Amino acid sequence: MNSSLTVPLDEEQRDLLKLTRRLLEEHAGEAHLRRRMNLDAAHDPDLWRRLADLGLLSLVLDERWGGAGLGDHVLAPVLHLLGEFAVPEPFLETVVSALLIQEACPEDFAATWLPRIASGNAVAALSFGPRTPVVPYAASADLLLVCGGGVTAIEAAELVVERQDAVDPLYPLYRVTGTGQQVSLDAPAVERAWTRMVAGSACLLTGVSTRLLDMTVAYVKTRHQFDRPVGSFQAVKHKLADVATGVDLSQAASFAAFRDTGAPDAQVRAAVAKAYAGEAARQADVEALQLHGGIGFTLEYGLQFWLKRAMALSAAYGTAREHRRSLAVRLLAREAAR
């Protein structure tokens, strides 16, 4: 697999990228995806523990909770790689939940859950009410945080989940109900969590688009028509150049969205990132399928995993169209206030 990141990384991010790629290449390749699909079980406790053992689940937690105390900007390359490998795990949901608990919940509640999350012994999911009518990976969650004006915590024993039809069986979606306890009234912390989910889904989606582009470039180099590689035709080059441009822009935007998720412009940067990522994924999906031809439709060929994940993530935490609309509303309101 190519390493197609075009954004500059600091030393911490480069080290994390190297370690995470090594783990995923060994334990989360296409064979892993096929096993999970055949089992109809996306979440793999063994892989989850490996992610925890590498310290990925606790990167941004304080040291007192077993974390590394790093800034959440280090999550961007990790999420990008998880997208590249289409890893079917609730990593983003769990890490953002942990940050929300750390920032907004009582000490005793944090002491109960954060060490478990950091060690890989707990999975968390997030619901943002009407903004997320379905919840990814809810059936695998030990803890669901329902976010509105505050935060309500529902443990697995009190949680009722109903699986919904989904385009990607390895990104399962559920409607959830249950009774829990209110653990925070910190509305700004909830909005920070939403911003992180939007920015994180953009990073995941950009990783998926990167993999679609890499797979398609490799394929058109080997597929021949008229005694020439398909990739040698100018029309094909133009299509892939357009996809590559979109992927580069979405990489830059999604990494910038994680630069400081507590800054006043963080929501704007996250919305921009998801808008770019959604459009790049749509174009990568279409061109990957078209340039692969009939084989791209088949379950036996691996392209399906990334095609489906791109569609699933494009709809998660706001579509490109919804985020463009929110940006337009902000801009018009600012102009009207002048």
The predicted model gives 308-337 an average pLDDT of 94
| pLDDT single digits (tens) 173-196 | 999 999 999 999 999 999 999 999
Mean pLDDT of the chain: 94
CA max distance for the chain: 69
The predicted model gives 120-138 an average pLDDT of 97
- Terminal-residue alpha carbon distance, the chain: 50
Whether the pLDDT of residue 228 is over 50: the answer is yes
Domains, the chain, with CATH or none: 190-337 (1.20.140.10)
The angle formed by the CA atoms of residues 6, 192 and 81, to the nearest 5 degrees, is 30
Phi first, then psi: give them for residue 123, nearest 5 degrees.
Answer: -120, 140
pLDDT of amino acid 299: 87
pLDDT of amino acid 272: 98
pLDDT of amino acid 4: 63
pLDDT interval class at 2 (50, 70, 90)? very low
Phi-psi region of 228 (alpha: psi -120 to 50; beta: other; left: phi over 0): beta
Q: Which of 206, 195, 197 is nearest to 81 (CA)?
A: 206
Is the CB of residue 196 less than 8 Å from the CB of residue 96?
yes
pLDDT of amino acid 189: 97
The angle formed by the CA atoms of residues 304, 52 and 259, to the nearest 5 degrees, is 75
Amino acid at 259: R
The predicted model gives 308-336 an average pLDDT of 94
Neighbours of 6 (CB within 10 A): 12
Whether the pLDDT of residue 18 is over 60: the answer is yes
CA atoms lying within 13 Å on the CB side of residue 163 = 14
Tell me how far apart the alpha carbons of residues 140 and 159 are, in angstroms, rounded to a whole number: 11
pLDDT of amino acid 294: 81
